[in-house]
Structure 1
Amino acid sequence: MANETHGEVEVALDRSSLDDLTARVRAVLDIQDRRYGFPPRTYTKCFVGNEAVQKLVEEQIASDEADAVRLGNMLLNAGIFHHVQHAHPFENAYLFYRFVSDEDHGAVARTPDGNAVSWADFIAPITSDEDAVVSLQPSMPDRDPDLAQFAQDDLDHLNISPLDTHNAKLLDLTHPKSWVNPAPKASYNLVVIGAGTGGLVSAAGSAGLGARVALIEAHLLGGDCLNVGCVPSKALLRCAKAAVAVRHAAEFGVRVDGNISVDFGYVMERMRRLRASIAPNDSVKRFTEDVGVDMFMGRGRFTGKNTIEVNGDVLHFSKAVIATGGTAAIPPIPGLAEAPYLTNATLFNLTELPPRLGVIGAGPIGLEMAQAFQRFGSQVTVFARDTQILSKEDPDAAQVVEAALRRDGVAFELGANLKRIESQNGQPPVTVVLETDAGERKFEVDALLMATGRKPAVNGLGLEAAGVEYDERMGIHVDDRLRTSNPDVFAVGDVACKYQFTHMADFMARMVIRNALFFGRDKFSNFLIPWATYTEPEIAHVGLYERDLQARDIAYNTFTREFADVDRTLVDGETDGFVKIHVKKGSDEILGATIVSSHAGDMISEITVAMQSGMGLGKLASVIHPYPTAAEAIRQCGDAYNRARLTPTVRGIFDRLMSLRR
């Protein structure tokens, strides 16, 4: 219901009356494209406040100017129209206003990857309202039990260097030096703290659906993914792949004369250039001018259950999303604090290739960068406490990747007991000291990369004032609908989830928009989550591992196709790896899959789609795949399943039937 005011009399409006009034008002207004400011900017399909007031009085829709202003604000508060910059109520002044029906939200609001936001993304259920019969989310290693004792990157000192034209462009887009925060609105439908993937999708999606949104970021919009994660790391991996392709070109009859070397300075300059070219998608300019979000640069802190303070301004909200992510966790190894070391936040600032690189940690970040830098020309040594690299992955798959890295020249010290780190006056080189049964072993490196996990960014948020429960190890506690202990506050991404992937933060944000603003009932436990590690070969996985099936007493069968037996990978010389698919025993229901190959990250989506839509492995065998492709291995697993259904009894019946027809 909305209230219409005429001559100091309030009349309750139902939806039909409101639509009729809107049509009457719209019919008398002068709606056109207008230009204003210097340099002039065009505002499409808008009307002017003082001209509208005059028309409403002339047409006797309002009794006088004051009545016209009250009527205009009633329509504005009902969401019929708004100021073009969401900066003013309806006033008898030279201000521009636009009807919401004239907005093209598909063009205005876009996700960080550039796709248009649609109502279906958020109003249609992302997960089923029904409980899944079997959750297909695999067990993941818990965050390190000692994580609360680990130090954390201090993002106040986050440094993007060198300050060349590319990094200057990046900073201008993601943290403008001269930015002035807007005056806070009286209240917001949604306030988002953190402008990484989860925060940007939450803000863009909500604003695109008509919500009044404030977005708070203390550092760089785009978060880790754009600035110090997915984008720069994959740019380096592509260069590393090119380098090894040239070195191995002779295997394909291509002779390369002379020495082969990598111009590391150019590799890093290319990365900075590409990163800056992608940054407009996540920029302050886009989110304020195109999406319509109020952007506050500064550190947000809860001051109550429905208030957040940033730079002295207090923002009032109906709902809030915490999307502060995490930063590199630094273990308390003696001597490390006094030694120079790199994390993912500083690795991409390098301009010279370290001759010897030590990597502590054998997870995705550590191994991707270990392989890249080895291919660039560093001698890389990986140190890890575990005896298996990529501890969450299928052991067979991890073994294939380890063998590939060893062929590249990467050295491994697995099961390592790190005793201390030595350095002279905080300068390289750095010595990594291991304790073994035979005594100490020392490894001198020119640079040391710490890749020992991530720590959720929960400190300094004033969570106690908001009644939000958390701990430093696991992050913010959320329920299956991503609500915190404060029902008006939600959390997404690395700060609240052990599935630390950009695409996971994206879909958690979509879920929050539906659950927080539109009374949705999506459940995190119903998500089907694929992921990939981008070593060469890649590992990609979706659903349950064998260890999960065994732990849950689920009877299953496994079908495996080695790429050494697939025509396309044979001719490409990419025979390392396999497709491994688990199905429920007695049916073709796919319960989980792992792929190890050069294109595993792309191939896993076929299996994910099949699982999401309920297509079984037997039906996948009937899907025609182009020949020759690596994805044929998936179809061939389906063929193997169908052959397995031919029991001796069934085969005997077929044999007798064929003999009768001869």
Structure 2
Amino acid sequence: MNRKKLILIAVIATLVGLFIAFDGHTVLTLDNLQRHQDSLQQWIAANTALAVGGFVLIYIAVTALSLPGAAILTLAGGAFFGNLYGLAAVSVASTVGASLAFLAARFLFRDSLRERYAETIRRMDQGIKKDGAFYLATLRLVPVFPFFLINLAMGLTAMKLRTYAVVSWLTMLPGTFVYVNAGTQLAQIEALGDIVSADVLGAFALLGLFPLIAKVVIGFVRRRRVYRGFQKPAQFDYNLLVIGGGSAGLVSAYIAAAVKAKVALIERDKMGGDCLNTGCVPSKALIRSARAADTLRHADRYGLASVPVKGSFANIMARVKRIIAEVEPHDSPERYRKLGVDCIQGEARFVSPWEVDVQTADGRRQRLTARSIIIASGGKPMLPAIPGLEAMDPLTSDTLWQLDEQPERLLIIGGGPIGCELTQAFNRLGIPVTQVQRGARLLPREDQDVAELIQQQFVSEGVDLRLEHAPIEFVEEGGKRVLYCDHHGERVGITFDRVLVAVGRQGNTASLNLQALGIEPAANGTVPVEEDLSVRYPNIFACGDVAGPYQFTHAAAHQAWYAAVNGLFGQFRRFRVDYRVMPWVTFTAPEVARVGLSEEEARARGVAYEVTRYGIDDLDRAIAESEAHGFIKVLTVPGKDRILGAVVVGSRGGEILAEFTLAMKHGLGLNKILGTIHPYPTWNEAAKYAAGEWKRAHAPEAILRLLEKLHRWRRGGADDRRPAEAVSEAAHEPVARRDISQ
């Protein structure tokens, strides 16, 4: 740190120290000002110029040093100088003080924070460059954050001092007037009856209503600003128009039709989207076939003769297609037309915030208007930029289901949920699989112990697992396909027959003509959404994979409710989407099901927690089904049973997790789960036993020792030893033994 910065820090520290030493925080209070009101007014009357100058200097110092008392000083300005002089003094002083705080933050912290948080500061600068003055004006007019935080935060950005000072002065002026005016009325309070005078009540009513009024005005100005250049139609074809017929689009359209709104749904390909056609339904059908093959191959676990698995890959894939066809009517245009939805097959492009141009499947074009529009165009697999990959005719989770011939050696790139599910499924179907993961573990969003259990399972089943292998290039050598990877500096070659890429997904936005609306998608194709899921314009919303941050079918349906309701009724009330309890399941064997925080996330966020573990190898139902492996891990608030997060690694993990998800959603703790009757023997008893583990760890030992003495006294001081036969009999009561945890 250079000498100038050290001097400035020393000066600031000295001034703050003097403020504390002379009890500045007790001087700048309303009670103190009222106690000395008469004497101060007499002195000010005799020394008006000196009083105004001193007041301005004190106000500048308090604001520049971010000390408490600015609000009281503003009221004092009105009380002692009146509306005109008080407003002028406070307005000038607050602007100068804010500018000094802005400059101090920039001088002291900007360079070091820019170096440490380069990407974050870069994004802030982009936003400031594009919309900085308006954003600052919004913060000033509707003070959600204290003004001193605004001063310091803006100093870290690229905003010019002149812009900052002018916008701050103009936008603080209305609020300053309200506070100064309230101060003038406070100065007139001489008796208790004055408190209910019309002038005083009016001043305080204005003070209380100002944030609400400012919010309404800001909303009006923002709408006028964002819609500038577009002509709103005089009437609309639809109340709601939905682009995309996947999970998010279908739920949005269903909700609109249910409340009797006129709604159209535009889908360019197949209704049902990724979930029905290329995602959830086909992958789970494939996983079920793979599980059946594994059961036959290891029938000796169940006292039967294991048999070699012989099957036709073409038949397996044909079964997948049959299952898609069986589920398809649930998402068909015919069903939704009966519900009241106009289903249109075609590709939509935005013309304005209320209009889309649709090119239908038969080549016709039509322009549709709607009061609100929902973007639910879904996502697609991402292909990484690896040299030679395109020449390998790579498979993705979209194109995989067209396979009829069984690959001889399958290479799968990616260790996330999709990559892991398909790796295990194809391996269990008898296809040699090599899984390549750039990172040090599979399922990087899960805790280390979760990933290690899955990795051990994969290796035990014969998967060729290559962790910390970064793909470099694909080549053909001697008639064979080879992937070269970097493994700790060593060039490693992996031969394969077909390659399946599963390294993430990106939003489908390329064909929507979003640039016509000034909407810029992120690098992964998703569109930036507000808390109400609106996209730049108050009447345009997005949900599902195209919105993020969770690219799950159930997350898409969850978002769709908010998008549809806000789109239809947002002029009256808007709802902020709630992500507090978002569960997900990776359908490997064992399943990995999680809701809430993991241990690693809790540590990264600085959240204090306790961990309770229960081994599923202790569960009677798991033992009976030869599935006695895995565990439950629950994070709770230290000393309390409130659940912060839970993960279930084991058979039926997704079903077991539902109980923890319900508890978190409705604020139920582990004691409530423990006190609930669970039928025996079921998989969900595992949730109860996990709660029992927490209860035992938090047993009131002091009370239990007192109870032990009470019971010994009631026995007449008898010896605590039990007869051997009683011990033997108790050992044969597993249900009672477990239920004692209640």
> Normalising to structure 2: TM-score of the pair?
0.62
Report Cα offsets for 1:172-191 as digits up to 9, x if no partner: xxxxxxxxxxxxx9521011
Alignment of 1:63-212 (within 5 A): 186-212=236-262
Q: What one-letter code is carried by the residue in structure 2 that aligns with 1:221?
A: M
1:159 alignment counterpart: none
Hey, what's the Cα distance between the residues in 2 that align with 1:574 and 1:525? 35
Q: Summarize deviations over 1:583-631 as a string: whole Å, max 9, x none.
A: 1112110110000011001111011111112110012111111222222
- CA positional deviation for 1:442: 1.4
Q: 1:501 aligns with which of 552, 573, 577?
A: 552
Residue 121 of structure 1 corresponds to which residue in structure 2?
none
CA distance in 2, matches of 1:355, 1:342: 14
User: Residue by residue, what CA displacement relative to the aligned partner does 1:117-158 show, whole Å, maximum 9, x if unpaired?
Assistant: xxxxxxxxxxxxxx9xxxxxxxxxxxxxxxxxxxxxxxxxxx
Letter in 2 for 1:593: A
Amino acid of the structure 2 residue aligned with 1:638 = A
User: Which residue of 1 is the match for residue 272 of structure 2?
Assistant: 222
Q: What residue number does 1:297 align with?
A: 345
Cα 1:514–1:407 change in 2 (3 A) is same
Indicate the residue corresponding to 2:619 in structure 1.
566
Partner of 1:575: 628
Q: Which residue of 2 aligns with 1:271?
A: 320
* Partner Cα distance (1:277, 1:208) in 2: 25
Relative to structure 1, the CA distance from residue 214 to residue 429 in structure 2 (aligned partners, 3 Å threshold; closer, same or farther) is: farther
1:305 touches 1:467 (CA, 8 Å); kept in 2? no
Q: Measure the CA separation in 2 of the matches of 1:406 and 1:615.
A: 39
Q: Where does residue 110 of structure 1 map in the other structure?
A: none
Equivalent position SS for 1:488: strand
2: distance between equivalents of 1:286 and 1:232? 21
Q: Secondary structure of 2:534's match?
A: coil
CA distance, structure 1, for counterparts of residue 239 and residue 335 of structure 2: 20
Q: CA deviation at 1:437?
A: 5.0
How many residue pairs get aligned? The number is 475
Task: Identify if the C-alpha distance between structure 1 residues 438 and 331 changes in structure 2 by more than 3 Å, giving closer, same or farther.
Answer: closer
After superposing the two structures, state which structure 1 stretch, 616-625 or 437-446, moved more: 437-446
1:412 correspondence with 2:465: yes
CA distance, structure 2, for counterparts of residue 582 and residue 456 of structure 1? 33
Aligned-residue Cα RMSD (Å) equals 1.9
Q: Is 1:344 matched with 2:393?
A: no
CA distance in 2, matches of 1:252, 1:340: 42
Which protein is richer in helix relative to its size?
2
Task: Give the letter for the 2:430 counterpart.
Answer: G
Cα distance in 1, alignment partners of residues 283 and 699 from structure 2: 47
1:167 corresponds in structure 2 to none
CA distance in 1, matches of 2:437, 2:692: 40
Matching residue of 1:77? none
Q: Cα–Cα, structure 1 residues 317 and 359, in superposed 2: closer, same or farther, change >3 Å?
A: same
Provide the residue aligned with 2:538 in structure 1: 487
- Find the aligned partners of 2:579 and 2:707 in 1 and give their Cα distance: 42
Residues 527-547 of structure 1: CA deviation (Å, up to 9, x unaligned): 411110001110000011112
- What is residue 311 of structure 2 aligned with on the other side? 262
Counterpart in the other structure of 2:565: 514
User: 1:120 — aligned with what?
Assistant: none
Within 1, Cα distance between the matches of 2:279 and 2:594?
20
User: What's the offset of the Cα at 1:415?
Assistant: 0.8
Unpaired segments of 5 or more residues in structure 1? 1-130, 132-184
Q: Counterpart in 2 of 1:166?
A: none
SS of corresponding position for 1:574? coil
1:235 aligned residue: 285
CA distance in 2, matches of 1:238, 1:528: 28
1:344-383 equivalences in 2 (<5 Å): 344-383=397-436
- Quick check: 595-604 or 652-661, which moved more? 652-661
CA pair 371-654 structure 1, distance change in 2 beyond 3 A: same
Question: 3-state SS of the aligned residue for 1:298?
Answer: strand
Does residue 639 of structure 1 match 2:687? no
Pairs within 5 Å for 1:381-420: 381-420=434-473
**Distance in structure 2 (CA, Å) of the matches to 1:499 and 1:522:** 18
> Are positions 1:625 and 2:674 aligned together?
no
Displacement of 1:548: 2.4
Q: Which runs of structure 1 show a deviation greater than 4 angstroms over 4 or more consecutive aligned residues?
A: none
Offset, 1:215: 1.0
Separation (CA, whole Å) in 2 of partners of 1:308 and 1:237: 40
**1:464 counterpart residue number:** 515
Distance 1:465 1:437 in 2: 47
Q: Residues 360 and 448 of structure 1 are in contact (CA less than 8 Å); yes or no, is this contact kept in structure 2? A: yes
* Higher share of residues assigned strand: 1
Q: Which has the higher contact order (CA 8 A, sep 6+)?
A: 1
The alpha-carbon deviation at position 579 of structure 1 amounts to 0.7
1:493/1:367 CA distance change after superposition, 3 Å: same
Question: Which stretches in structure 2 are left out of the alignment for 5+ residues?
Answer: 1-143, 145-234, 360-364, 716-742
Give 1 or 2 for the bigger CA radius of gyration: 2
CA contact (8 A) 1:421 1:430 kept: yes
- Separation of aligned partners in 2, 1:192 and 1:271: 29
Shift of 1:634: 1.3
Identify which of 495, 499, 520 aligns with 1:448: 499
Change (3 A) 1:378 1:467: same
Q: Distance in 1 between matches of 2:488 and 2:600?
A: 32
> C-alpha displacement at 1:481, in angstroms?
1.2
Instruction: Indicate if the aligned counterparts of 2:372 and 2:540 stay in contact, CA closer than 8 A.
Output: yes
Identify which of 646, 657, 668 aligns with 1:604: 657
More off after superposition, 195-204 vs 549-558: 549-558
SS of 2:511's partner is: coil
What's the secondary structure of 1:650's corresponding residue?
helix
Residue in structure 1 matched with residue 50 of structure 2 by the alignment? none
Task: Determine helix, strand or coil for the equivalent of 1:476.
Answer: coil
Residue identity over aligned pairs, in percent, reads 38
Aligned-partner Cα distance in 2 for 1:606–1:430:
47
Once structures 1 and 2 are overlaid, which stretch shifts more, 325-334 or 401-410? 401-410
Contact in 1 for aligned 2:246/2:271 (Cα 8 Å): yes
Cα deviation per residue 1:215-259 (whole Å; 9 max; x = unaligned)?
1111111110000000000000000000000111112211246x4
Q: What residue identity is the alignment partner of 2:277?
A: N
User: What are the residue-to-residue correspondences of 1:25-36 with 2, within 5 Å?
Assistant: none
8 A Cα contact 2:392 2:498, kept in partner? no
SS in 2 for 1:472: coil
CA contact (8 A) 1:468 1:486 kept: no
CA distance in 2: counterparts of 1:527 and 1:372, whole angstroms: 32
The whole-number CA distance in structure 2 between the counterparts of 1:609 and 1:296 is: 37
State the SS of the aligned residue for 1:568.
Answer: helix
Sort the Cα spacing of 1:256 and 1:403 in 2 relative to 1 into closer, same or farther, 3 A: closer
User: In 1, distance between residues paired with 2:545 and 2:316?
Assistant: 29
Task: Give, in angstroms, the shift of residue 643 of structure 1.
Answer: 1.8
Q: 1:362: Cα distance to partner?
A: 0.7
Between the aligned partners of 1:466 and 1:403, the Cα distance in structure 2 is 50
Question: Which residue in 1 is equivalent to 2:599?
Answer: 546
CA gap of 1:628–1:457, structure 2 versus 1, over 3 A, is same
